Amino acid sequence: MTLMDWVLADWEWQIPSIEFVRPGEWSAVRVTFHPESARHWGWYVNLQEPFLRTERGIEMMDMALDVVADGRRRWRWKDEHEFAHLIGKGLIDAATANTVRAAGFDAIDRLERREEPFDDSWLGWRPPTEWGLPVLSVRNE
């Protein structure tokens, strides 16, 4: 395996969250809740390429850099060293890096202005119990 190889694996996000992904945006915003108490924990902004709908589902590419904010809206960058490493290795070009960083600053601005979903409107929402877990169908090719 070389540095350019990607290894795909099944993985499940372990923090109860509501995730907002909007067409054309370079981020997804998660309103997060503490796994044990279910109290609002904060927000997690995953910086990623805008998603694409494909025959097989949703396709997106994580850009490594994230913004994490606690319930008081105190934020910090997460994984800056990984982001810098990807840039340094040429896996992310300068223009894309600038777009990703700008998307992060945009999310921080929306957080500080308390725009949805960074307002309090989703803090009490929970999925109806009758929903259960969704089952995804996978087509064999």
Q: Among the ranges 16-25, 28-37, 102-111, 127-136, which has the highest mean pLDDT value?
A: 102-111
User: Which residue range is the domain that position 29 belongs to?
Assistant: 17-122
Alpha-carbon gap, residue 19 to 67, rounded angstroms: 14
Alpha-carbon gap, residue 48 to 61, rounded angstroms: 5
Alpha-carbon gap, residue 105 to 25, rounded angstroms: 13
Write the CATH number for 113: 2.40.380.10
Q: Read off the pTM.
A: 0.85
At 1, the pLDDT band (50, 70, 90 cuts) reads: very low
Q: Is residue 43 part of a domain?
A: yes
Residue 138's pLDDT is 64
Residues 124-138: what's their mean pLDDT?
80
Instruction: Tell me: cis bond preceding 16? Omega within 30 of 0 counts.
Output: no
Q: Is residue 128 part of a domain?
A: no
Q: pLDDT tens for residues 55-109?
A: 878 888 999 999 999 999 999 999 999 999 999 999 999 999 999 999 999 999 9
Which range, of 16-20, 38-42, 87-91, 122-126, averages the lowest pLDDT?
122-126
β-pairing, 40-48 vs 27-33, is antiparallel
Residue 141's pLDDT is 54
Residue 139's pLDDT is 58
Comparing 16 with 80, the larger pLDDT belongs to: 80
DSSP string, the chain: --TT----------S-EEEEE-TT-SEEEEEEE-TTT--EEEEEEEEEPPPEEETTEEE--EEEEEEEEETT--EEEE-HHHHHHHHHTTSS-HHHHHHHHHHHHHHHHHHHTT-TTSSSTTTT----GGG----------
Structural domains in the chain (count):
1
Q: Is residue 50 part of a domain?
A: yes
Alpha-carbon gap, residue 92 to 28, rounded angstroms: 19
Alpha carbon of 56 to those of 39, 108, 118: distances in Å?
A: 35, 32, 31
Q: Is residue 10 part of a domain?
A: no
Q: Is residue 8 part of a domain?
A: no
Q: Is residue 32 part of a domain?
A: yes
Q: Is residue 65 part of a domain?
A: yes
Q: Is residue 133 part of a domain?
A: no
